[in-house]
Amino acid sequence: MSWFLDIPSERISVVPLGIAMDGYSRRDNPPAHHAPFRVGYLARIAPEKGLQLLAEAYVRLRRRMNGAPARLEVAGYMASEHRAYLDGARAILRNAGLQDEMAYHGEVDRAGKRAFLRNLDVLSVPATYDEPKGMFLLEAMASGVPVVQPRRGAFIEVINRTGGGLLVDQDDPDALASGLHSLWADPLARERFGRAAYDGVRGHYTIAHSADRLTGVYESLTSAASAGASKGAVLRDSA
């Protein structure tokens, strides 16, 4: 934003996003040993969010799982003009003989979103641009779901700060598949990432943290303004 708005970075105060944690909880029971490995996507159905890239990575992942069961669970708002894009993602799985492994759950409300996330083993939204927010990461992490994301935009900060997932090369389905495979192949690591996600988002990205940071920014601005006004008054009195 410093470059985009041509404002020196030292004049910009950053207030990280936060979410209300009420209602977000981890899965009550761990998945059964032979349960499908559930890869989730929760975002708008649109080319820039990378669902087709995830579908390509999922096909590569399945080739490395030696027949173990898996699912690609998708949810999020879809405008009518992007129906063909969703169909394209389905076609990628169909061409690999995996058409029965993808489900689109439509747009979900808050309760539906929490239920959707609790049933996932990992979430990935491999956006093809520098995503500035990444709210879906915070929501997944609040549910104890680890994430695998491209190394770009806000994803870098969120994952490095929480430790709740893996960063992989951007726009690379092979790299994304490798990241997903590493979490499938090592359930203990997946559990560690999930715990880090659950704790990390509560330690850094609650709505209370955002409010405190925003209040601090306002207070610094009002203090600076008051100091400037006082200095101006002293100068006028001296004159």
Look up tokens 């990205």; give the residue. 205
Of 155 and 14, the structure prediction assigns the larger pLDDT to 155
Look up tokens 């059964």; give the residue. 32
For residue 143 the two structure tokens come to: 């549910």
Does pLDDT of 238 surpass 80?
Answer: no
pTM for the whole thing?
0.88
DSSP 121: S
> CB-based contacts of 206: which residues, under 8 Å, 6+ apart?
18, 19, 20, 21
Of 30 and 109, the structure prediction assigns the larger pLDDT to 109
The pLDDT-based confidence of 222 (bands split at 50, 70, 90) is confident
For residue 144 the two structure tokens come to: 């104890």
Query: What percent of the chain has pLDDT above 70?
Result: 92
Strand duo 102-104 + 70-75: pairing: parallel
Q: Taking a C-beta distance cutoff of 8 angstroms, is the pair 39, 72 a contact? A: yes
Q: Taking a C-beta distance cutoff of 8 angstroms, is the pair 155, 205 a contact? A: no
pLDDT one-digit tens code per residue, 70-86: 999 999 999 999 999 99
pLDDT at position 65 is 97
Please provide residue 61's backbone torsions phi and psi, each rounded to the nearest 5 degrees.
-60, -45
pLDDT at position 237 is 55
Rounded to an integer, what distance in angstroms lies between the CA atom of residue 21 and that of residue 123? 18
Of 211 and 102, the structure prediction assigns the larger pLDDT to 102
Name residue 231's amino acid: K
pLDDT one-digit tens code per residue, 97-149: 999 999 999 999 999 999 999 999 999 999 999 998 899 999 999 999 999 99
Where does residue 97 rank: exposed (0-12), middle (13-18), buried (19+ CB within 10 A)? Answer: exposed
pLDDT at position 186 is 96
The residue among 186, 187, 181 whose CA lies nearest residue 62 is 181
